[in-house]
Amino acid sequence: MQDRHDLLTAAATALDHPSPLLDRAELEAFVDSFLQRRQVFLDARRRHGSPLYVLEPQVLRDRAEQLVSTFRDELPEVSAYYAVKSNNCPLVASALVDSGLGLDVSSGLEWELALDCGAQEILFSGPGKTEAELHLAVAHRDWVTVLVDSFAELELLERTAGAARASVRAGVRLTTNERGLWRKFGILLADLPRFLARAEECRHVVVGGLQFHTSWNMGPDNQVAFLQRLGAALQDLPAGHRAQLGFLDIGGGFWPPQGEWLQPAGTPEGKLREAVRPEAEPVAPSLAPHRFPARPLQDFAREIAAALRTHVFPHLDCRVCLEPGRWLCNDAMHLLLTVLDRKADDLVITDGGINAVGWERFETDYFPVLNLSRPSLEEHECYVMGSLCTPHDLWGYSYFGTDLQPGDVLLIPTQGAYTYSLRQEFIKPLPQVVSV
């Protein structure tokens, strides 16, 4: 009964407090910034066909520079590693390595990519590392630090390195949330003393740091809260163990400053409507997308640095490592499509399907669809769909342009994060990547 009451209260609160709307002027400025450069994209389409992933390496270089300078303004020693899983296109990793970043890899596949693009510094993180992957880490020990995920993995790494009579640099990942799905990552903070004591006995693994990662952070609160907990745990560590910890990897999870843009169906109130009336028509396509704000990177850097000074630096003299993915690559890759069929005034089919992004992203996330062939800041309602045999193959419920006709070239901007690396072989061929 109490549960029912709590649920109904939560539902009423969601309905009474609709999610904030995306400011129209902000949206138009975003659209305009791409329309200004429409010729660059149209040229790429003419030369390479469509569908196409269009990569802007200069955006990656600018982000890398901004990331490092923002954190170096606040902290004495900072190293940055690009989380390859967020976009595993080799051109993305190469551009970031050329800009001076290391790479954070989580599998043998990502290892190959890191070695191919000449990364000088590699972090190897993630749960369930295989023996073959650890062999690779031992073989490339001059460049790699293994972020150990469990006690068992420490033993496996010790055996693997011991068999090669080698010594491997390592750190240990800490669990940030002891409940639910995030339990799978790292060891409990309470087990850190036991882990470091066991690591001391391992002659082939040198544990020299700590790692944690929190995700989907619209501001620095999650990182700051964990740093506070970490500080309390560090206080109780023997001085010898503290002295051996020379780096603290605070992970990634920084949200891009434009915030999260959502279709009505992606908001809490939209999800609620869908759950209680699934047979109803989907929430009508709307020209009023929502926006959940994100704090700028400067705020993350300032507040994380303050938390480090208060909670961590009194106990550890350490370098700070960053492992961002999304913040670096989100704005650097776009999708180009061509309209194949206009089935109704408000329904078109394009040549590219959402297998290029790997998930039904646009039913919940909002990104403007720009008609580069008939540019305009006017937005019109229209189902813009792909050519896969699934009704979920949707790019958006509207487009910016004066009209939409077969042969028109469409741009879906800022599709750089968790799209390319989730792409799937499904029905239609995958687009090629071109750099502009």
> Which residues in this chain contact ligand PLP in the complex, by CB under 6 A?
83, 85-86, 104, 125, 213, 215, 251-254, 323-327
Q: What are the percentages of helix, strand and coil residues in the chain, rounded to 5?
A: 40, 20, 35
Write the DSSP symbol of residue 301: H
Type of residue at 40: V
Place of tokens 């470091």: 196
Distance CA 228, CA 246 (A): 18
Decide whether 19 or 125 has the Cβ nearer to ligand PLP.
125
Minimum CB distance to ligand PLP, residue 237 (Å): 23
Decide whether 124 or 395 has the Cβ nearer to ligand PLP.
124
Minimum CB distance to ligand PLP, residue 167 (Å): 24
Minimum CB distance to ligand PLP, residue 212 (Å): 9
3-state secondary structure at position 260: strand
Minimum CB distance to ligand PLP, residue 403 (Å): 37
Write the DSSP symbol of residue 266: G
Minimum CB distance to ligand PLP, residue 408 (Å): 33
Decide whether 173 or 273 has the Cβ nearer to ligand PLP.
173
- What DSSP letter does each residue of 46-73 carry, written as one string? HHH-SSEEEE-HHHHHHHHHHHHHHHHT
Decide whether 180 or 407 has the Cβ nearer to ligand PLP.
180
Do 166 and 140 form a contact (C-beta atoms < 8 A)?
no
3-state secondary structure at position 300: helix
Minimum CB distance to ligand PLP, residue 82 (Å): 9
Give residues with Cβ within 8 angstroms of 44, minimum separation 6.
Answer: 52, 54, 336, 434, 436
Q: In this structure, what token pair is assigned to residue 238?
A: 């023997």
Distance CA 220, CA 299 (A): 7
